[in-house]
Amino acid sequence: MALTSLIITDKQELFRYYESAFRTGDIYAKHSFFHLQEVAHKLVATQPDILLIETSFGDKVAQLLSNFSEMQLARRPAIFVCLENRTSSWEQLILRKGAMYVFDKTMSERNIVSCVIHLYSLYYSVEREEKLFPELVRLLRDCGFSPQHRGYACIVDSVQMLLKEVEYYQSLTKKVYPHIARKQSTTPIRVEKNIRDAIRHAWSKGDRQAIQKYLGFGDDEKPPSNGKLISSICERLRETLYEKEYSTVDTMKDY
C-alpha cells in the first residue's frame, strides 16, 4: 500500500534527511514550513497518511494542532512530533491535541522515521485507536521499550488481545502467542522470546525504576515475567482510560 507523508519543519536540511529515510520505506514525502496557509494547502492537496512535525518549541506544534482540529479534512493523518526541547508538560498538551507520539532529538532522523513507520502500522492494527494507542505507546516508552525492538509489536498485540478477552490471561502460551505468531508470520516460541528479550532490555538499560513506578512492581532484582508485565500494562491502561472517561463526564456536568 502506497503511503504519503507530510513533513513540517523550519529547517530545509532536516527535510532532506527525513525524505531520504521515508523513501527507504517506500513512502512519498512532501515538505512544508511553519506557515499556516502553506500547511493547510499541503494538507488538503496531499491528504497524507503520516504527518511529522519537527521543531524546537512546543508552542509552534500546539498552534498547528489547534488549527488542524478546525480544518475539514477527508481523513485525519497519524500525527507524530519531534520536539528538540521536549518537556513532560508540552508532551501531555501535544498528545491531548491529537499527536500519536512525541520524540526528542536524541534520535537520528532515520531512527525516528523507522519508529514512525512501525508505530503507524501498529496503530492501524489496534482497535479503539483513539483512546488506547496514545496511552499504550506513552506507557511503553516511559518504561524504556523501543518500537525498534522486535518484542514491542508482540507486547502491543498481546495487550490488545487481553483487553478484549480477559480469560486469555491464563492462556498466553495456548492462545495469545499462537495468534500473534500467525499475524507476524513467525512461531509462538519466537513471540515469547521476543517479549522476554524486550523486557530484559528495558530492565537492564536503567529503566527498571520506571517499570516499577508505572506498573507497580516491587524492588526485585529480576525482570518481571511476560505474563506479569502484560497483565500489569492492561491494568494500568484500564485505570488510565477509566480516569479519562470519568474526568470527561465530570467536565460535562460542569456545563
Q: Which of 124, 153, 182 is the last residue of a domain?
A: 124
Q: Which of 65, 92, 124 is the last residue of a domain?
A: 124
Q: What is the rounded CA–CA span in Å between residue 53 and residue 32?
A: 10
Is the model's pLDDT at 11 over the cut of 90?
Answer: no
Tell me the β-bridge partners of 78: 50
Name the E strands within the chain.
3-9, 27-32, 50-55, 78-83, 101-104
* Number of domains the chain is built from: 2
pLDDT of residue 244: 63
Q: Which residue has the higher pLDDT, 224 or 29?
A: 224
N-to-C CA span, the chain: 45
**CA atoms in the 13 A half-sphere facing the CB of 38:** 11
Q: What confidence tier does 255 reach under pLDDT thresholds 50, 70, 90? A: very low
* Residue 168: predicted pLDDT: 73
User: CA-to-CA distance for 205 and 131, rounded, in angstroms?
Assistant: 29
Statement to judge: residues 182 and 64 lie in one domain: no
pLDDT in tens, 199-251: 998 888 766 777 888 888 877 678 889 999 999 998 888 887 766 655 544 44
Q: Is 28 left (phi over 0), alpha (psi -120 to 50) or beta?
A: beta
Complete DSSP assignment for 48-92: -SEEEEEES-HHHHHHHHHHHHTS--SSPPEEEEEETT--HHHHH
- Looking at the fold, whether 113 and 163 belong to one and the same domain comes out as no
Q: What is the pLDDT of residue 246?
A: 52
Q: Which range of residues forms the domain containing residue 169?
A: 128-255
DSSP labels for 178-214? HHHHHHHTS-HHHHHHHHHHHHHHHIIIIIHHHHHHH
8: region left, alpha or beta (phi > 0 left; psi from -120 to 50 alpha): beta
> 127-177, pLDDT tens digit by residue?
444 567 777 888 888 888 888 788 998 998 899 888 877 777 778 888 999
Residue 113 · residue 106 · CB < 8 Å = no
Q: Which of 94, 124, 154 represents a domain boundary (last residue)? A: 124
> What sign results for the dihedral spanned by CA atoms 65, 23, 83, 207?
positive
Confidence at residue 89, expressed as pLDDT on a 0 to 100 scale: 80
What local confidence, expressed as pLDDT, does residue 61 receive?
85
- The answer to whether residues 221 and 241 belong to one domain is yes
Question: CA angle, 207 as apex, 242 and 81 as ends, to 5°?
Answer: 65
Q: Are residues 218 and 145 in the same domain?
A: yes
∠ CA 54-56-62, rounded to 5°? 75
107 & 18 share domain = yes
